[in-house]
Chains A and B, each alone.
Chain A
Amino acid sequence: MAGLALPGHPWTGWPGMRRLRRNPVSLAAVGTLAALVLIAALAPWIMPFGPDDTDPTAALFGPCWPHWFGTDVYGRDQFSRIIYAARVDLAVPLAATSAALAVGSFIGMISGYRGGWLDMLVMRAVDAVLAFPALVLAMGLAAALGSGTGNLILVIAITQVPTYLRLMRGEVLRAREMEYAEAALTVGNPTRRILFVHLLPNCIPPLIVQATLATGFALLTMATLSFLGLGIQPPASEWGEMTAEGASQMVTGEWWLFLFPGLAIMLAVLSFNLIGDALRDILDPRMRGVR
């Protein structure tokens, strides 16, 4: 698509790939995330124990061989649980972010291109939703809709939609005034074609950056909701839920129960954030060096 090679958004050519390779921190983040995804995908084959397998003779073991991360009161192997939890802990944020990205950018694109009363109405709704701190709104919605993986995805997606919507609207408003957009209109392209073929590809880069950063935040939101008892419920394995279970054992000294799930959350969120920062540097040259 020749329409992609535009000044302002270095979307094509990918000199960015070289930049990424030169930055060891970003590279490590990409590696870590790839490893986490691989671990999640291969969980059933690499777990030393079943995540729900109890063993009364091995209750509350500290980190040892073969229980690297120790065991809980029921003798469940924490290492296996953390590995298995990677599935839900990566899938829910990714699903929520993708859904919000799709819905938000679709509405934002239409709203920005059409303008008028529709745009006005949509933007007021966006203001209202953004008036709630995301986590607080997520708590209220989670309580209202009830727990369950599907609802969790929906809740997190709802809190994210306005951000993409607003970003996409701004991008469309900018791109609409470009000469190529006017040219596309003048030669008689239908609106749908202008939107999806001419405008959309040029509006995507900032959304990608936002989505990457938001995935990390979505993971934190999910873990927090689960920690508070509003997300993934016990006995299922999820990092936030595991931290909550471990918290009750902390005062008797079983530190491994809360420590390792929290480290897993941090590692995953850190990877998403670092990749997001790197993408911002690559895709948005104005921000380069500011952070």
Chain B
Amino acid sequence: MAFAWYVVGRLALVIPTLFGVTLISFLLTVLLPGNPALVKAGPFATPAYIKEVEHQMGLDRPIPVQYERYVAGLLHGDLGESAATGRPVLQDFAQRLPATLELTLASLVLAVVFGLPLGVLSALHRDKLIDHLGRVVAVAGVALPSFWTGLLLIYVFFYLLGIAPAPLGRLGPDVAAPMHLTGLYVVDSVLTGNWRALGSSLAHLALPSFTLAISIMAPLARMVRASMLETLVSDYVKAAWAAGLPARQVIYGDALRNALIPVITTLGVVFGFLMAGNAVVESVFAWPGIGNYAVTALMTKDSAPIQSFVLFVAVMYVLVNFAVDVAYGLADPRIRLG
């Protein structure tokens, strides 16, 4: 029961935040240059026709009325139209989302695979070589501009060594996309047994996902280390040692399991990093995701995709943080059981 109230309490905080978020993104549409009616009416429209479209879209109404219409539109999935593609932004988003999702998940996996052991080892061997190494990785990881890391990796692995494919999208030019099931090429090609597509998509995924992983590995490893250091000196771990349990059981069973609870809270921050990083990394690697779509829109001042991307990321960020709070509540018996 206590947990239900905890969730309700968190949810009550989400709603005003989402309201504020739509207010800010609406403000952005008002501020963004370019007249959406002009986009909708097309390049050859007469001034009279533009006026009419403006009226249809409610652009001649007072700002509060416009905001109302904006939110009503959002609730119906209307994100406006892209001037560049001439299609509804929602449609463009849906088409590009799998690419972004695949890249995000791959980098998250890489970050956990490298970051978690690094954090645990740093804590176990505090102030030894591995800890210092971890510190260097952490400090450098957050100071590296991701666009530059991406370029450096392309230069070394594509240009110099020739082992990475050209940084142009998700597949080689001579490889057909696997049958569409989830939209994630790696998953789809495994499911359909398309090994050629699997090889190509993994090869294309390697550099961009590693670029993204570098920037999020650092906070993850540091948090695991700090949390692990705390649990290692806690009473229950001391008791486990005293009871003569094997080291593996104490470190990975008792200490790490509890140390991971506070780490959950960093996932929200990590996700925010990833969404912003996506935009940059996708544009460096010509990855056909929503980040790249947004950056292209930014450069051409295509207002609907820009504000939709900003809104989309913020809403996702709010929801992920809500999910993180709930997961934290589930993992922590003090909250779960009240």
Contacts and interface: CB of A to CB of B under 8 A. Distances in A.
Interface of A: 124-125, 127-129, 131-137, 139-146, 216, 220, 223-224, 227-230, 240, 243-244, 246-247, 250-251, 253, 255, 258-259, 261-262, 265-266, 269-270, 273-274, 277, 290-291
Given A128-B17, A133-B313, A274-B139, A140 B28 contact: yes
Contact of A250 (B16, B159, B277, B307): B159
B139 A136 contact: no
Nearest to A137: B310
Given A131-B318, A136-B279, A144-B28, A227 B140 contact: no
Given A124-B16, A131-B20, 9 more contacts: A131-B314, A132-B317, A133-B317, A135-B277, A144-B28, A227-B280, A247-B151, A269-B142, A290-B226
Contacts of B94: none
B272 interface: yes
Residue among A140, A145, A227, A246 facing the most chain B CB atoms (10 A cut-off): A140
Interface of B: 13, 16-21, 23-25, 28, 31-33, 139-140, 142-148, 151-152, 154-155, 159, 222, 226, 229, 272-273, 275-277, 279-280, 283-284, 294-295, 298-299, 301, 303, 306-307, 309-310, 313-314, 317-318
A146 B33 contact: yes
B68 to A, nearest CB: 18
Contacts of B279: 135-136, 139, 228
B33 A140 contact: no
A173 B226 CA distance: 28
A137 B306 CA distance: 10
A270 B24 contact: no
A259 B156 CA distance: 12
A259 B152 contact: yes
A134 B276 contact: yes
Nearest to B312: A136
Contacts of B32: 143-144
B318 A266 contact: no
Closest 8 CB pairs of A and B: A128-B20, A262-B148, A135-B276, A133-B272, A144-B31, A140-B310, A269-B143, A270-B143
A266 B28 contact: no
Contacts of A224: 145-147, 280
20 contacts: A125-B20, A131-B18, A132-B21, A136-B310, A137-B24, A139-B295, A140-B310, A141-B28, A220-B145, A227-B147, A227-B280, A243-B147, A247-B151, A247-B284, A258-B155, A259-B155, A261-B148, A270-B143, A273-B143, A290-B229
A250 B33 CA distance: 33
Contact of B313 (A136, A258, A265): A136
Nearest to A228: B295
Nearest to A250: B155
Nearest to B310: A140
Contacts of A270: 139-140, 143
A223 B18 CA distance: 30
Contacts of A141: 28, 31
B21 A228 contact: no
Nearest to A124: B16
A145 B154 CA distance: 33
Given A139-B279, A140-B28, A141-B28, A258 B148 contact: yes
B267 to A, nearest CB: 14
Residue among B33, B272, B275 facing the most chain A CB atoms (10 A cut-off): B272
A140 B307 contact: yes
Contacts of A227: 145, 147, 280
Residue among A135, A145, A258 facing the most chain B CB atoms (10 A cut-off): A135
A208 B263 CA distance: 26
Contacts of B283: 228
A228 B151 contact: no
B299 A145 contact: no
Contacts of A240: 145, 147
Contacts of A134: 272, 276
A229 B294 CA distance: 13
A251 B159 contact: yes
B309 A136 contact: yes
Contacts of B142: 269, 273
B314 A132 contact: yes
Nearest to A243: B148
Residue among A133, A253, A290 facing the most chain B CB atoms (10 A cut-off): A133
A128 B23 contact: yes
Contacts of A145: 31
A287 to B, nearest CB: 10
A250 B153 CA distance: 11
A176 to B, nearest CB: 24
B134 to A, nearest CB: 11
Given A143-B32, A228-B298, A124 B148 contact: no
A142 to B, nearest CB: 8
A143 B306 contact: yes
Contacts of A266: 140, 143-145, 148
Given A144-B31, A273-B139, A133 B275 contact: yes
